[in-house]
Structure 1
Amino acid sequence: MTPHSIDRRTFGLGLAALVGSTLAPVTAVFAGPRGRAIAVFATPGCGCCKAWVEHLRENGYAPTVDYLPAATLNAKKIEAGLTPELSSCHTALIEGYVVEGHVPAADIDRLLAERPDVLGLTVPGMPQDAPGMGTGDTPFDVLLARREGTSEIFASYPAS
């Protein structure tokens, strides 16, 4: 054996230790939405927008928030392909999708897992029971927004 050679057993043990030490962090990155970046656009001072951002954080997302004047935010919505009927108070972008309004994190998870060829998800208006809005007695639907402006129900939430 030369001074720089290594026997197969030592190489195998070293390789196993290396793979074992690096596998856990790699698995965590691909295990789900933990730490997934999502860009949120909202107007300054909107309490429900801040509460929805907190809902995202609590569910493993890594939101960045850009506070914009209302006119600039509305232009961002139009640029993203949203119609007024599909709009709400804040807009988010994640992995090529638009997420408009108080969409539950579980529905964003599902969208990203299924990867349909659509614009994104929206909860038009501001229903009382939606994440970030608090509690109330208003059932609401999460809509799957298509690029041509149509939509269909993606998920429904009954009143509590």
Structure 2
Amino acid sequence: MNLKKPSLLRRSISGAALLVLAACSNVAQAATYTMFRDPGCGCCLNWAGHLEDGMNAKVASVDSNDMAAIKTARGVPEELWSCHTMEVDGYIIEGHVPAEAVARLLRERPDGVAGLAVPGMPLGSPGMEAGNRIQPYEVIAFGPTGQSVFASYR
């Protein structure tokens, strides 16, 4: 009986497993950032620039005249709606969520969270800068288990 064959087979399987893991890792690093926005809204592009700088990513912008349909189809609770909606790596980002909160979400991947939202358009949030005028706001995590505060900004 040749004992080298099982060893060769094990090495081949191990090598294939490593290739699959490497491919999965590259896919996660190459997440696609797709933002849906009303074509008449300028703050959305400012927020996308903030996200691109903060995440070292490229945000694709898709114009839509029916943002309510976009938000509803993606399960964003109506009380959390803002002006734009982004999809990234299986998550929904609604409104002016800071890049650091998005990065934390993608890093931690908390159970029961479908996305993050900053309801409304608070002054001082990314993309809504207005000089020294700043409103405190919260980033809300939402999903099938409900809603909770993910981060607070004062």
TM-score by length of 1: 0.73
CA contact (8 A) 2:116 2:139 kept: yes
CA displacement 1:105-157 (0-9 Å, x = unmatched): 00000000001131110000000011000142200000111225x21110000
CA contact (8 A) 1:129 1:140 kept: no
The aligned residue for residue 85 of structure 1 is 79
Match of 1:42 among 37, 55, 59: 37
Gaps of 5+ in 1: 1-25
Q: Does 1:68 align with 2:67?
A: no
The Cα of 1:36 is off from its aligned counterpart by 4.0
CA displacement 1:72-115 (0-9 Å, x = unmatched): 22101001001210111000000110000000000000000001
- Determine the C-alpha separation between the residues in 2 that align with 1:36 and 1:51: 20
Match of 1:108 among 102, 105, 116: 102
- Determine the C-alpha separation between the residues in 2 that align with 1:112 and 1:52: 18
CA contact (8 A) 1:49 1:132 kept: yes
The aligned residue for residue 53 of structure 1 is 48
- Paired residues, number: 126
Q: Does 1:147 align with 2:131?
A: no
- Determine the C-alpha separation between the residues in 1 that align with 2:99 and 2:41: 19
Letter in 2 for 1:37: T
Letter in 2 for 1:143: I
Superposition RMSD in Å = 1.9
Matches within 5 A, 1:109-148: 109-117=103-111, 118-135=113-130, 136-148=133-145
Gaps of 5+ in 2: 1-21
